Chains A and B, each alone.
Chain A
Amino acid sequence: MSQKPDIKQVNDVAREFRMDRMRRKRFGGYLEECKVHGEHGSQPNGDFTYRELRAKAREFLEGQS
């Protein structure tokens, strides 16, 4: 069911941005919400590239402050 590489990439980006576990979980929810609202990544299935995930991580963390 799941796209393992996508989940691993999110994990890796979350680690890079020093997100704690709960924040990593919320980040995954945030990314899915972005897709649901039409904010897709540039991958063929609308997923985000690694570079886009890093930009999303900044956006996510800045949106909390």
Chain B
Amino acid sequence: MTNLVEEPISSSSDLLELAQYLDRLTGKPFQFARFSYGDELTLHFGDVRIEKLTKLVSLPYGEFMLGARASEVRRAKFDPAVRRLHFAEMPTAWSPPLTRADVESSPIFSSDCFVISALAFRVEPDVGFGFQLVMSSGEAVAILPDTSPDAEDEADDGLPDIADWEIFMPGGYLSAGPGLRWSFEKLPTSDDN
């Protein structure tokens, strides 16, 4: 078992700096969506490699892996010729929060599409950072921090709170939330197993 100490190399509420990390997703092809334990939606981009979870269990992972954690996920379609879609400007263009059944019955993105833009935005009134991903296929997803009335109660269940969304990427781990904060932590570039 390894015992890595992961020191934040950047932590801020500055959206511009956050945008620079998110820009690494631009141009990356969408590979697949998968659910992790707790019905967490994960989206995989870029090159795919098979990772050994144990000696007997292996799974494919994208080099960029977006995890929605416990946040709302919504989707929208737009005209790719226009290539302009922003959740904060047009919230009604987006679907209601998706369920696992929604995603399993209708793929989140078409095949053969890639990321046109990945950006974070403030969710008012200062709830946290939302995230939207716009694809070349005219499809988009938005991830929004949990604002349900139960969210505060759950925060008191004695367990440390979790990020609103996160991205594993080559060389690092980006996480946003809870609240208006984000961080980027440097991770080993090679498999440490």
| A contact set with B: CB distance below 8 Å | 1-12, 15, 17-23, 25-33, 35, 47, 60-61, 63-64
B51 and A26 contact, CB distance less than 8 A: yes
- Known contacts A22-B173, A28-B38; 15 additional CB pairs below 8 A are A1-B97, A2-B68, A3-B39, A6-B37, A8-B162, A10-B38, A22-B192, A26-B53, A28-B40, A31-B37, A32-B37, A35-B37, A47-B38, A64-B53, A64-B193
Q: List 23 A-B contacts (CB under 8 A).
A: A1-B103, A2-B38, A2-B41, A3-B39, A4-B70, A4-B162, A6-B37, A8-B161, A10-B37, A20-B6, A21-B168, A21-B185, A22-B187, A25-B65, A26-B53, A28-B37, A28-B38, A29-B34, A29-B53, A30-B53, A32-B35, A32-B37, A64-B53
Contact A8 B173 (CB under 8 A): no
Please choose the segment from B23-31, B55-63, B109-117, B118-126 that sits at the chain A interface, where 4 or more of its residues have CB less than 8 A away.
B55-63
Q: A-B pairs with CB below 8 Å: how many?
A: 121
Contact A1 B39 (CB under 8 A): yes
- Which of B9-17, B80-88, B128-136, B152-160 lies at the interface? B152-160
Give me the 7 closest cross-chain CB pairs, A-B, nearest first: A63-B54, A6-B38, A4-B70, A31-B37, A7-B38, A20-B4, A28-B36
Q: How many residues does chain B have at the interface if contact means C-beta atoms less than 8 Å apart?
A: 48
Chain A residues closer than 8 Å to B68, beta-carbon distance: 1-2
A23 touches B65 (CB 8 A): no
Complex: A2 Cα to B160 Cα, angstroms? 17
Contact call B37/A21, Cβ cutoff below 8 A: no
Residue of B nearest to A4 (CB): B70
Complex: how many Å from CA A35 to CA B97?
A: 24
User: Whole-angstrom distance from the CB of A60 to the nearest CB of chain B?
Assistant: 6
Please name all residues of chain B whose beta carbon is closer than 8 Å to the beta carbon of A8 when the two chains form the complex. Answer: 70, 154, 157, 159-162
Bound Cα distance from A21 to B184, whole angstroms: 12
Knowing A2-B41, A2-B71, A12-B159, say if A23 contacts B54 (CB, 8 Å). no
